[in-house]
Amino acid sequence: MRDVAIIGASMTQFGQRDAWIRELLAEAGDACLDDAGVEPSALDHLYVSNMASGEFEGMTGVPNALAHDLGALGAYTQRVDQTSSSGGAGIYAAWQSIASGASDATLLVGGEKMTHKTTAESTDVIASLTHPAEYKHGVTLPSFAGLTARHYLERFDAPRESLAKVAVKNHENGTRNPHAQFQKEVDLDTVMESPIVADPLRLYDFCPITDGSAALMLVPADDAESYVDSADDYAVISGVAGATDTHVVHERDDPTVMGGVVESGERAFDMAGLEPDDVDVAELHDMFTILEFLQMEGLGFAEHGKAWERVEAGETTMDGDLPINTSGGLKSKGHPLGASGVAQGVEIYEQIVGEAGPRQVDADVALACNVGGFGNCVITTILEAAA
């Protein structure tokens, strides 16, 4: 197994974009090659994280189209799909391509084009990942989130405001991210008084529907310094692992425990030889505010039932002990399905190499957790500074 480094990153503007999936992928791919100083002809592998270009646009074969658009003909191309965790799955696939020796230069581009569909249409595409027995009864992902949030708040005697504070924090972080879909603060009252979507969760507890793309450039760690100026300029993937949970959400023993988060986290920490306390900054999959609590607890950043206390204490803000979702998270940055996990990787890479600008925190170890479905499949990635 070879160690694997990330030497470049990019993301497009997230939001409502007047561009199709091919254009979005090419935009991030081109920018990432530029950032890394890699010629497209030097690519051995080119992976595309994308859930549903066929369903959203009637277009398949986008990896081949991207090879054409980037001028990377000859590279091996493949689409990686693991629903809303396709981006994290792409990081894992790209890592395997380098670690196995199959590729010496892998570009990963994740993207999704969604906003041309109605919210109902997009929700229907996303809900196609749920178990048919649940799907047919209308139990979509937002309704799972509502049920879980009510259970969590009552069982752990947590105030409703603690969930709203996740939204307030992530929106504040998003004001410092020029690529975020919503670069505006929201206050607690606005969240608490927004329309109910899945009681007790309200509009501002949910991420938006988004178009966008993000990219990462991976090479063997031993080659990294031939691309960049110094060891300060790249990050090493010290841990990456995935795990599944039940396909039928109601079969889980405890609705407040996401088994895929726990297992993928333990595997990634084992691989890196690190503990949760070693992590300086994290991107968690806050598709719904309640998910930030479940991941904090599943990854060992808080005891079971206690994540809300850390949030209430302000420990996960930019200035806290463990800043979470400095990028703005899915909540304010947006959630173009196949792009989201890659964009998490972009944020933790930029934090490690000191390119996060106004969002920069002091970080030598950074973690990203990308959740597919309602925890159906989860990929956890840990980056470390090379220097």
Q: Given the rule CB under 8 A, which residues bind a second copy?
A: 1, 51-52, 54-55, 58-61, 63-65, 67-68, 72-83, 89, 92-93, 95-97, 99-102, 125, 128-132, 241-248, 259, 263-264, 372-373, 376-377, 379
Pick the closest to residue 311 from 199, 205, 167 (CA basis): 167
- In angstroms, give the least distance from the CB of 111 to a second copy: 14
- In angstroms, give the least distance from the CB of 97 to a second copy: 6
- In angstroms, give the least distance from the CB of 370 to a second copy: 12
| 3-class SS of residue 352 | helix
Dist. CA 260–CA 254, nearest whole Å: 13
Q: Nearer to a second copy by C-beta: 101 or 178?
A: 101
Q: Nearer to a second copy by C-beta: 86 or 351?
A: 86
Q: Nearer to a second copy by C-beta: 94 or 343?
A: 94
Q: Nearer to a second copy by C-beta: 132 or 314?
A: 132
Q: Nearer to a second copy by C-beta: 103 or 326?
A: 103
- DSSP for residue 52: -
- In angstroms, give the least distance from the CB of 319 to a second copy: 35
Pick the closest to residue 348 from 360, 336, 332 (CA basis): 360
- In angstroms, give the least distance from the CB of 173 to a second copy: 30
Whether the Cβ atoms of residue 176 and residue 359 lie closer than 8 Å to each other = yes
- In angstroms, give the least distance from the CB of 196 to a second copy: 27
| CA atoms in the 13 A half-sphere facing the CB of 261 | 27
Whether the Cβ atoms of residue 92 and residue 317 lie closer than 8 Å to each other = no
Q: Nearer to a second copy by C-beta: 16 or 244?
A: 244
- In angstroms, give the least distance from the CB of 160 to a second copy: 31
Dist. CA 192–CA 209, nearest whole Å: 21
Report the run of H or E that residue 267 belongs to, with start and end. helix 259-272
Whether the Cβ atoms of residue 362 and residue 278 lie closer than 8 Å to each other = no
- In angstroms, give the least distance from the CB of 134 to a second copy: 12
Q: Nearer to a second copy by C-beta: 32 or 89?
A: 89
Q: Nearer to a second copy by C-beta: 28 or 99?
A: 99
Q: Nearer to a second copy by C-beta: 101 or 354?
A: 101
- In angstroms, give the least distance from the CB of 174 to a second copy: 28
- In angstroms, give the least distance from the CB of 308 to a second copy: 28
Q: How far is CA 214 from the centre of its chain?
A: 10
Q: Nearer to a second copy by C-beta: 76 or 156?
A: 76
Residue with tokens 């100026």: 229
Whether the Cβ atoms of residue 217 and residue 32 lie closer than 8 Å to each other = yes
- In the chain, the amino acid numbered 255 is P
Whether the Cβ atoms of residue 297 and residue 306 lie closer than 8 Å to each other = yes
Report the run of H or E that residue 85 belongs to, with start and end. none
Whether the Cβ atoms of residue 338 and residue 370 lie closer than 8 Å to each other = no
Whether the Cβ atoms of residue 35 and residue 95 lie closer than 8 Å to each other = no
Render 100-164 in DSSP notation, one character per residue: TTS-S-EEEEEEE--TTS-HHHHHHHHHTTS-HHHHTTT--HHHHHHHHHHHHHHHTT--HHHHH
- DSSP for residue 367: E
